[in-house]
């Protein structure tokens, strides 16, 4: 994922760069301190994602966002702002996420994950390394992923695959329009869900078509789950 960081303050750009260079599959193609530099970098590098200060001084983030929406429709925008009043502006330029200042590393990582998932919407296959072997999986065959001790288990229509990757890393590879982190120990393909049944006051069992294994959905995730079901 090629990323451009555009913010008027060097210290904030440095925070993004220092965090993102530690994330697998992220390539920072450039940084910009002004709106004009940002537009030049967009034209030169064609990034996948722009992290954009909405209050750039010469050309505002809103103006840049409008330029991107018209001329670079495949580029995603994440807004950086210090004030919640700018969120309505972010929605106008179809930003996929927004980050409030002061910025924390965890929030940057979460936003990168969300952006990666948005870019993954159309992928059909993914590769998983297991020891010296590499599995090529059909995304549509994955029902859910569960955490078991130090490993993750991928449950497909006809197999269970143990991998030594974290759920966060796996979620990063999966399309965000189909896969939801329903619980700290589960990622669920919402298109495969057959039924939800109560498990506890805080969660549901998630049952799938074609397999007997189950996952869990936190009740606090129920509304998000329903929205994804409607769009998937």
Reported as a single tens digit per residue, the pLDDT across 22-36 is 887 789 999 999 999
Q: Which of 89 and 181 is assigned the larger pLDDT? A: 181
CATH 2.30.30.280 assigned to 125-231: no
Nearest to 165 by CA among 16, 28, 24: 24
pLDDT, tens digit (0-9, with 9 covering 90-100), for 137-159? 898 999 999 999 889 999 999 99
Q: In the chain, where are the structural domains located?
A: 2-121, 125-231
CB neighbourhood size of 74 (10 A): 8
pLDDT, tens digit (0-9, with 9 covering 90-100), for 30-76? 999 999 999 999 999 999 999 999 888 899 888 999 999 899 988 99
In whole angstroms, what is the distance from residue 214 CA to residue 70 CA? Answer: 44
pTM, rounded to two decimals: 0.64
State mean pLDDT over 195-224: 95
In this structure, the strands spanning 27-32 and 2-6 are parallel
pLDDT, tens digit (0-9, with 9 covering 90-100), for 170-201? 887 888 888 999 999 999 999 999 999 999 99
Provide CATH code, domain 2-121.
3.40.50.2300
CA angle, corner 113, sides to 71 and 101, nearest 5? 80
Beta-carbon contacts of residue 97 (< 8 Å; ≥ 6 apart) = 78, 79, 111, 114, 115
């Amino acid at each position: 994922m090629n990323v451009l960081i555009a913010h008027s303050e060097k210290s904030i750009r440095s925070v993004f760069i220092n965090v993102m260079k530690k994330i697998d599959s992220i390539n920072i193609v450039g940084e910009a301190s002004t709106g004009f530099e940002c537009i030049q970098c967009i034209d030169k590098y064609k990034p996948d994602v722009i992290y954009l200060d909405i209050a750039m001084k010469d050309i505002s983030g809103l103006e840049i966002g409008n330029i991107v929406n018209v001329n670079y429709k495949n580029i995603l925008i994440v807004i950086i702002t210090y004030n919640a009043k700018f969120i309505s502006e972010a929605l106008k330029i179809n930003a996929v996420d927004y980050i409030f200042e002061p910025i924390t590393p965890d929030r940057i990582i979460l936003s990168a994950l969300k952006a990666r998932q948005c870019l993954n919407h159309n992928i059909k296959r993914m590769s998983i390394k297991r020891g010296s072997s590499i599995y090529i999986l059909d995304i549509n065959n994955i029902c859910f992923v569960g955490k078991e001790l130090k490993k993750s288990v991928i449950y497909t229509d006809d197999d269970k695959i143990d991998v030594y990757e974290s759920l966060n890393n796996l979620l990063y590879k999966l399309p965000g329009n189909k896969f939801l982190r329903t619980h700290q120990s589960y990622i669920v393909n919402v298109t495969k869900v057959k039924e939800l049944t109560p498990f506890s006051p805080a969660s549901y069992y998630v049952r799938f078509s074609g397999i007997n294994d189950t996952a869990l959905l936190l009740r606090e995730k129920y509304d998000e789950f329903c929205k994804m079901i409607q769009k998937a």
